[in-house]
């Protein structure tokens, strides 16, 4: 065991890793303590429950995702379309790394928990909703720039199109996880350029 101050970080790391590999319900406090080499009394010194640990772990996971995927994808140095394609490319590569390391496409850690937990845990659902709102903000900034550059129609509904882009991305990740094959993320990436031209049916 490391210093007591490490125990909290070890638990957060274990929660991020094990819940992404499995699911929220499949991982117990005992398993988290074992993976983190932390005693159960230490666990309850830092966290009142598995839920509380997972809320902290999700915040940490989100910050990582922003730094490693969203900010490099939605870089103002890139044209709007290239920003979308980079989001898919970075995600494809990330899932490939996971597949090689674990044998499994683990998918989007946020989308996974949206579907597993939204009917069961309002605190987790609400936190995930705030992440998705922030993510929509990245799409919206890209779309405003695309409108300025005349790449999308002047009449484009930016909030709806951002939702459509996030839906398409999350769906591609879901299908890739179901097939246990990250290649589908790469195959489907060009579709995002259609979705960004969103228009209502006449």
* Residue in 17, 41, 37 with CA at minimum distance from that of residue 27: 17
Which pairs with CB-CB distance under 8 Å and at least 24 residues apart come from 103-107? 104/21, 104/180, 105/176, 105/177, 105/179, 105/180, 105/181, 105/182, 106/20, 106/21, 106/177, 107/173, 107/174, 107/176, 107/177
7 or 162: whose CB is closer to a second copy? 162
Q: What is the closest distance, in whole angstroms, from the C-beta atom of residue 194 to a second copy in the complex? A: 5
52 or 190: whose CB is closer to a second copy? 190
Distance CA 128, CA 134 (A): 10
2 or 178: whose CB is closer to a second copy? 178
Q: What is the closest distance, in whole angstroms, from the C-beta atom of residue 199 to a second copy in the complex? A: 7
Q: What is the closest distance, in whole angstroms, from the C-beta atom of residue 101 to a second copy in the complex? A: 12
Distance CA 155, CA 3 (A): 58
8 or 106: whose CB is closer to a second copy? 106
Q: Which residues bind a second copy (CB under 8 A)?
A: 21-26, 81, 85, 102, 104-107, 111-112, 114-120, 125, 128-129, 132, 160, 163-164, 166-172, 174-175, 177-180, 184, 187-191, 193-195, 197-201
* Residue in 188, 166, 192 with CA at minimum distance from that of residue 179: 188
Q: What is the closest distance, in whole angstroms, from the C-beta atom of residue 86 to a second copy in the complex? A: 12
DSSP-assigned states of every residue in 113-140: HHHHHTTT-HHHHHHHHHHHHHHHHHHH
57 or 108: whose CB is closer to a second copy? 108
26 or 68: whose CB is closer to a second copy? 26
Q: What is the closest distance, in whole angstroms, from the C-beta atom of residue 1 to a second copy in the complex? A: 29
Distance CA 43, CA 62 (A): 22
Q: What is the closest distance, in whole angstroms, from the C-beta atom of residue 197 to a second copy in the complex? A: 6
DSSP-assigned states of every residue in 135-156: HHHHHHHHHHHHHHTTSS-TT-
């Amino acid at each position: 065991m490391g210093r007591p101050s490490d125990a909290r970080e070890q638990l957060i790391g274990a929660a991020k890793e094990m819940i992404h590999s499995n699911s929220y319900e499949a991982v117990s406090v005992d398993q988290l303590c074992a993976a983190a080499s932390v005693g159960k009394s230490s666990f309850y010194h830092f966290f009142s429950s598995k839920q509380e640990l997972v809320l902290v772990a999700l915040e940490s996971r989100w910050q990582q995702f922003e730094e490693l995927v969203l900010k490099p994808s939605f870089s103002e140095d890139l044209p709007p379309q290239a920003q979308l394609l980079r989001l898919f490319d970075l995600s494809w590569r990330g899932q490939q790394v996971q597949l090689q390391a674990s044998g499994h496409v683990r998918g989007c850690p946020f989308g996974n928990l949206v579907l597993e937990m939204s009917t069961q845990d309002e605190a987790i659902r609400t936190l995930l909703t705030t992440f998705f709102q922030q993510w929509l903000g990245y799409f919206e900034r890209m779309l405003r720039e695309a409108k300025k550059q005349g790449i999308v129609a002047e009449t484009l509904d930016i909030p709806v199109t951002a939702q459509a882009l996030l839906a398409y991305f999350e769906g591609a990740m879901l299908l890739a996880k179901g097939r246990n094959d990250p290649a589908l993320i790469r195959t489907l990436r060009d579709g995002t350029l259609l979705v960004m031209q969103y228009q209502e049916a006449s």
